[in-house]
Structure 1
Amino acid sequence: MGKVVLVTGVARRLGGRFVRRIQREPEVDRVIGVDAVRPEHHLGGADFVQADIRQSTIAKVLAEHAVDTVVHMDITGTALGTRGSRSTVKETNVIGTMQLLGACQKAPAVTRLVVKSSTSVYGSAPRDPAVFSENTPPKSLPSGGFAKDSVEVEGYVRGFARRRPDVAVSVLRFANILGPCADSPLADYFSLPVLPTVFGYDPRLQFVHEDDVMEVLRIACFEARRGTLNSGTFNIAGDGVLLLSQTARRLGRPTVPVLLPAVTWVGSALRSVGMTDFSPEQIRLLTHGRVVETTQMRETLGFQPKYTTADAFADFARSRAPGLIPPQSLARTVDRVADAVSGPRSEERT
């Protein structure tokens, strides 16, 4: 008998794509996609079960189909389309995870759990370390939004791992996911014609390409390395970093620096007109940035991303409408302004 894999959150593009991907695995006998709404995209030969993970019915789904591998991808920062609100998203993230873990605990057939988390659990603060490892505690815990949801979710997952030590549990903390099909608040931000930034700050950012997300999820599900069964918590990000100013240049989008006290007002205005979810946690990210270490990703999971942070961003940028200013012209303009501010070059003064 091959593996029976259940994937949550399949109505979203990323979840649907993963369902289609793992059907090609020879050891997989059956794939079951679960979501509260029917997906608009196809799921290949997978079975779709319309179920809300916030309800206890998810336990019946696990038992009825004798699921042995659970991939929990229904943890997100935004509502799907026009459905739901921030409270609905939080309930799905936190209450839904609690119900799913409770169902997994009672399902003896379950032997592997993979959870899609986020590097947002580290928060973004002015006194953060230059690089976060999986064991680095955050200087300031996230106080709300998706980041706080992710912290709570990981807490429940650790509790489950203690209660079911026979289950191999992997938590994948993804950096901001980008690519042609990226659907996230940060992708919406980068799609704005003009990018509001925090005056005086140029944060370091990391990205992971959606193709690499598919591959590392597959590895976490099916490939054991050095007898570890890939259990543990892993940071997942592409090599290198980009400054926010560099992303703006590569998009060809001008920036509008805003004083920090006024940023919250700008974020509320953008949310009110539905342009982007410019949440407080995103404002902190665009102020202080965040960079994580990925040694465990390579040494324990044995995963080497195909895309660097710069590559992932470049592929995302190609999928978006061109900016107001050609990137080359914008770069030259910024360089001229920088020269004017700094004064004549040293060789000119001599």
Structure 2
Amino acid sequence: MAPNVVLVTGVADQLGGSLAARLAANPDIDRVLGVDTRRPAGLPARVEHVAVDIRDPRIGKVIDTAKVGTVVHAAPRASVGPLRSVIKERNVIGTMQLLAACQRAPRVRKLVVKSTAEVYGASATAPAVFTEQDPVAAGRDREPAEIEAYVRGFARRRPDVTTTTVRLAELIGPGVDTELARYFRLPVIPTVLGFDARVQLLHPQDALEVLERAVLRDVPGVFNVGGDGVILLSQAIRRAGRVPLPMLRAVIPAAARLVRGAKPVHFSPDLARLINYGRVIDTTRLKTTFGYTPRWSTAQAFEDYVRTSRQEVTA
């Protein structure tokens, strides 16, 4: 049964805004509230934009007043660039405030959290394929793991709430503007000398489908979400029509600034580890327990990204 009132955070971002629009188009859902400090262009009129920062305690009043039954936390994003500290605070403090509000709201019966496969990290000693049972990586630059820890705490305190966490692989495809997408747009791409990372990708349409299903169905637990197969970094660079430039990992951020493309690439610690060691996640639980098989493989998602990127250049 579809929920009556759904609140989606982070609707100014592509994924959150698209999810809110899809839920608003569902006639079985009475109301969709889109929370963000900015109102995105193209947000459907049926999505009620709520201009509030989730770090603000007023988010609790919004949930109570609107009688929200389902909360989708799609706001967490990669904390990179000049606003890194601000984004990190929104990710961590915003999640704490939102979960505290949900805990106090008796009508909330479902929580869906957009997480990332970044929680596993990437290193020379990492397993070839991560499963949901593998420990997450801790550390000062690991706020995705910190966010998930708060979610687990919430699930223990509110066992009556169906809590679903989806760990998304690296998004790539039309309209995606992540640091990895910008990295592949560089005219000359710095790579780590002596390494050829295996990378698993996820098309945004599959990510959107998984989040929507988590809202409409009761599928508690943690689920890895990624396209089938992997692509070697060297293969991706070649298919993108770019030129690799092998170098020591320590000098890659400086090199990326020298060969910058249309938009700068801010090398977060995770992106640096990813292009060095790669990361692959097991999606068995997604297919068997959650009941969804991604329509786009890693290779197909990357091909769609390359195709649309070339169209943008020639337009």
Q: TM-score, normalised by structure 2?
A: 0.93
CA contact (8 A) 2:171 2:203 kept: yes
SS in 1 for 2:290: coil
How far 1:268 moved relative to its partner?
A: 6.7
Flag the structure with larger Rg. Answer: 1
Q: Distance in 2 between matches of 1:153 and 1:56?
A: 18
Q: Distance in 1 between matches of 2:161 and 2:73?
A: 14
SS in 2 for 1:108: coil
- In the TM superposition, what are the counterparts of 1:229-248 in structure 2 within 5 Å? 229-248=218-237
How far 1:196 moved relative to its partner?
A: 0.7
Match of 1:296 among 270, 285, 288: 285
2:194 matched to 1:200? yes
CA contact (8 A) 1:252 1:322 kept: no
Letter in 2 for 1:185: E
Deviations 1:260-306 (A, max 9, x none): 332354357679x9611112211110000000100110111100111
Letter in 1 for 2:198: R
Letter in 1 for 2:224: N
How far 1:202 moved relative to its partner?
A: 0.3
Deviations 1:191-223 (A, max 9, x none): 111111001100000011111111111111112
1:306 maps to: 295
How far 1:78 moved relative to its partner?
A: 4.5
How far 1:43 moved relative to its partner?
A: 2.9
Aligned Cα root-mean-square deviation (Å): 2.1
How far 1:183 moved relative to its partner?
A: 1.7
2:139 maps to: 143
1:346 maps to: none
Q: Distance in 1 between matches of 2:138 and 2:134?
A: 14
Q: Distance in 2 between matches of 1:274 and 1:6?
A: 32
Match of 2:276 among 276, 287, 290: 287
2:58 maps to: 57
How far 1:16 moved relative to its partner?
A: 1.0
SS in 2 for 1:320: helix
How far 1:13 moved relative to its partner?
A: 1.6
Letter in 1 for 2:132: E
Deviations 1:225-253 (A, max 9, x none): xxxx2100000000000000010111110
23-32 or 174-183, which deviates more:
23-32
Match of 1:217 among 208, 211, 214: 211
CA contact (8 A) 1:179 1:315 kept: yes
2:6 maps to: 5
32-41 or 154-163, which deviates more:
32-41
- In the TM superposition, what are the counterparts of 1:167-206 in structure 2 within 5 Å? 167-206=161-200
Q: TM-score, normalised by structure 1?
A: 0.84
2:240 maps to: 251
Q: Distance in 1 between matches of 2:237 and 2:259?
A: 18
Identity of aligned residues (%): 46
Structure 2 gap ranges (5+)? none
2:89 matched to 1:91? yes
Q: Distance in 2 between matches of 1:267 and 1:251?
A: 17
Higher relative contact order (CA 8 A, sep 6+): 2
Letter in 2 for 1:13: Q
Match of 2:152 among 141, 155, 158: 158
2:110 matched to 1:112? yes
CA contact (8 A) 1:177 1:210 kept: yes
Aligned in 2, Cα 1:44/1:238: closer, same or farther, shift over 3 Å?
A: farther
Q: Distance in 2 between matches of 1:110 and 1:160?
A: 12
How far 1:143 moved relative to its partner?
A: 3.4
